[in-house]
A and B are shown apart, each in its own frame.
Chain A
Amino acid sequence: MRRSSFVAPILLIAVGALLLARTLYPGLQLMDYVARYWPVILIGWGLLRIVEILTWSAAAKPLPMRGLSGGEWVLIVFLCLFGLSLHTVRGVANWFPEHIQVDGLDFFDGGERYEYPVSGEKASSHAPHVMLGAGAVGLMNGGAPPQKLTSCSWMRSLSGSAV
């Protein structure tokens, strides 16, 4: 008879509780927590399995040849890939290199970063007019000073000089 394990149901309950917390509290930054603390799942999984095996050993039951099956290892690999990807995407990774260069080609970075100022100016019309926006109405006064916009943007260049 195949021996059942209580690790999988407990992990399923934990995942369900996390998703339920997300639906009940939409403001909860769940993905940030998952991106930072996903290795706790591995630790909990391993500890639960150790407790399970020690229980079998104390009850003089035959022990499994492998503490974790092949399918579980595959699931662990996928979990690690997901966790590391999420950790990198959320911007909290400190291991991912900024530059990976092979024969002068820069991978994962796309060249050097150059910042340049952006500015614009638009003259106001002399006649007063009404502006309709999304859910708001505004009255623009005529003869107002021209509107100026200054900002900063950036681009990447492979050739080593910004165009």
Chain B
Amino acid sequence: MNTNNVTLWRSIRGPVMLVTLGTLFLIDHSGGMGFGRTWPVLLIVLGILWLGDYLGHRKA
């Protein structure tokens, strides 16, 4: 497996999704907006990360 061409965007995709998931659950448990209403944020964050990965590859 060649890891030299892996962009930083792709590497941090999983951890950033994990932080987002934890933040949404924490908001839910703190009495804020429920996870049932905020889960699309996960899709938005994933899309931003994919876009950054795509733009990073184009620059390279």
Contacts and interface: CB of A to CB of B under 8 A. Distances in A.
Interface of A: 36-47, 49-50, 53-54, 57, 62-68, 72-73, 76, 80, 83, 87, 92, 94-95
* Residues of A contacting B: mostly: helix
A51 to B, nearest CB: 9
Contacts of B28: 94-95
B26 A37 contact: yes
Contact of A62 (B3, B21, B26): B3
Contacts of A39: 21-26, 29
Contact of A67 (B12, B21, B22): B12
B12 A92 contact: no
Given A65-B3, A68-B15, A94-B31, A43 B10 contact: no
Contacts of B6: 62-65
Interface string B16-42: 111101111110111100111000000
B60 interface: no
Interface of B: 1, 3-4, 6-8, 10-19, 21-26, 28-31, 34-36
Q: Which 8 A-B pairs have the closest CB atoms?
A: A42-B22, A46-B19, A46-B18, A68-B14, A67-B14, A39-B25, A43-B22, A49-B15
Contacts of A92: 29
A63 B29 contact: no
B8 A57 contact: yes
Contacts of B30: 36
Contacts of A73: 14
A41 B22 CA distance: 8
Given A43-B26, A95-B28, A49 B36 contact: no
A47 B11 contact: no
25 contacts: A36-B30, A39-B23, A39-B24, A39-B26, A42-B25, A43-B18, A43-B22, A45-B15, A45-B22, A46-B19, A49-B18, A50-B15, A50-B16, A50-B19, A57-B8, A62-B3, A63-B8, A64-B6, A65-B11, A66-B13, A83-B25, A92-B29, A94-B28, A94-B31, A95-B28
